[in-house]
Amino acid sequence: MKVLAVGDLVGDVGLSKLKENLNNIIETENIDFVIVNAENVSGGMGITVQDFRTLDNMKIDVITMGNHTWGKKDIFSFIDNNKLLRPANYSKGVLGHGYGIYECNNKKIAVISLIGRTDMSVLSENPFIVVNDIIENIKDKTDYIFVDFHAEATAEKIAMKYYLDGKVTGIFGTHTHVQTADEEITENGTAYITDIGMTGPKKSVIGMDVEVSIKRFLTSLPERYKLANGPAMLNACVFEINEEKNTMESIYRISID
């Protein structure tokens, strides 16, 4: 079995790039299950009904979110859709699902969405404690467990790798929009990568307009960010599982310019 995780969609440019390439990736890489982080898909912040419907009609099994989950009020009209996951460690009682269990090839795949707490400006519960509680609850109900850890600090992500080593099938980081070259299968068999990157405008500052971004750094003034345009790149990661042994065979990155 192969699971594809696609990095943060940024704006219409990123959405179009995914639409152009997803079916070909699924075919050429023999992908069975697809996870897409879409928290930046609508104008760089959040997700609208229209963009959710577009993604829902594609060959995508799970859509994960992050710190911009509530960026568009539209989300409250479809937040309970089983395909959509917001961070599980948001405050208790918040609408939506923090994890889900899905069927693929007669196997059950759990996907957990988490958000980091270091430099994220989001009040959230401890992701380490929350994810451990979820795993204890579902470990006998699923064959594989994948975690999207939406976090700023590489240290927090790497710590999560060691904390969950052997407890989950795969962990992939999102949020920083830069694909890291540290993919590995850990000592106890968990596939890990610090960040899978972004799918959005290539000539940009993590998806935002270059000139506006430079002006912010030069002047320290609160210039409003705007999305960049132009050709896009697609970043993703493939996790290959040996279904007979229920072990991780390989993990490798995809980058399409």
Give the three-state DSSP class for 190: coil
Residues found in the chain? 257
DSSP string for residues in 118-152: TT-------HHHHHHHHHHHHTTT-SEEEEEEE-S
97 is catalytic: no
| Distance from chain centroid for Cα 224 | 25
Contact 40, 200 (CB under 8 A): yes
Fill in the amino acid letter for 9: L
**Of 123, 96, 97, 99, nearest in space to 110 by CA:** 99
Contact 152, 118 (CB under 8 A): yes
| Integer CA distances (angstroms), 79 to 47, 74, 116, 232, in order | 10, 9, 21, 28
Residues belonging to the active site: 68
